[in-house]
A and B are shown apart, each in its own frame.
Chain A
Amino acid sequence: KAGVTQTPRYLIKTRGQQVTLSCSPISGHRSVSWYQQTPGQGLQFLFEYFSETQRNKGNFPGRFSGRQFSNSRSEMNVSTLELGDSALYLCASSMGQFPAYEQYFGPGTRLTVT
């Protein structure tokens, strides 16, 4: 089975721009979660989608949004980029139902905001 894929792997943007990141989950997985990883804050949960519905949301401003398509692929959008948004953005997929909660992570998208 192919793993979780994320595109692009690296991205450089300017403050004030917007960006869209993409995640393709493992085939058959219906849940996709997004995380922001920074050296200072560690792994922070952004949101989780299951069957095209947002089931849970972390404590991030409204500039961070996401969606999930009928094929379970997910996108994350960040508008009005700030320097502090520079981070590794990780996507993880899972079956999303007990007992198969374990998440499988993609390699991440490294976003640099200048």
Chain B
Amino acid sequence: GNSVTQMEGPVTLSEEAFLTINCTYTATGYPSLFWYVQYPGEGLQLLLKATKADDKGSNKGFEATYRKETTSFHLEKGSVQVSDSAVYFCALTGDTGNQFYFGTGTSLTVIP
């Protein structure tokens, strides 16, 4: 079946530190992979996506590369800001796109 495993949080970083949030997946076929971000009191926002192996999704300084050989889609950012404090969700959808599978979310707090 399909599933997503994210690194446990919470993660606390100082401003301008390097961020990595690990995400690995199990899927049949050729899934599409996504990172979503949820700010306090809001719904989820799409951060970036990749639809095939070796694709790199990027947005707002965040990047993630679809690695089929390691079944991973790790989120990275070179220099985090206080405004990046949020909960980050890794997700996949299978071949038909009927259903999304979300990880448990990783809470990030960036301190000045």
Contacts and interface: CB of A to CB of B under 8 A. Distances in A.
A binds B: yes
Interface of A: 4, 31, 33, 35, 42-43, 45, 48, 50, 55-56, 58, 90, 92, 94, 96-99, 101-108
Contacts of B28: none
B15 to A, nearest CB: 27
A98 B97 contact: yes
Q: Is the interface of B mostly helix, strand, loop or mixed?
A: strand
Max count, chain A CB within 10 A of own CB: residue among B45, B93, B100: B100
A43 B93 contact: no
Interface of B: 32, 34, 36, 42-46, 49, 51, 89, 93, 95, 97-105
Max count, chain B CB within 10 A of own CB: residue among A50, A96, A102, A108: A102
Max count, chain A CB within 10 A of own CB: residue among B44, B45, B99: B44
Nearest to A110: B41
Contact of A33 (B34, B95, B100): B100
B32 A101 contact: yes
Contacts, number: 53
Contacts of B43: 4, 90, 105-108
12 contacts: A33-B100, A42-B103, A42-B105, A43-B105, A45-B101, A48-B98, A58-B99, A102-B32, A103-B46, A103-B100, A105-B45, A108-B42
A56 B95 CA distance: 14
Given A42-B105, A43-B105, A99-B51, A105 B98 contact: no
A48 B98 CA distance: 7
B97 A101 contact: yes
Contact of A43 (B46, B49, B89, B98): B89
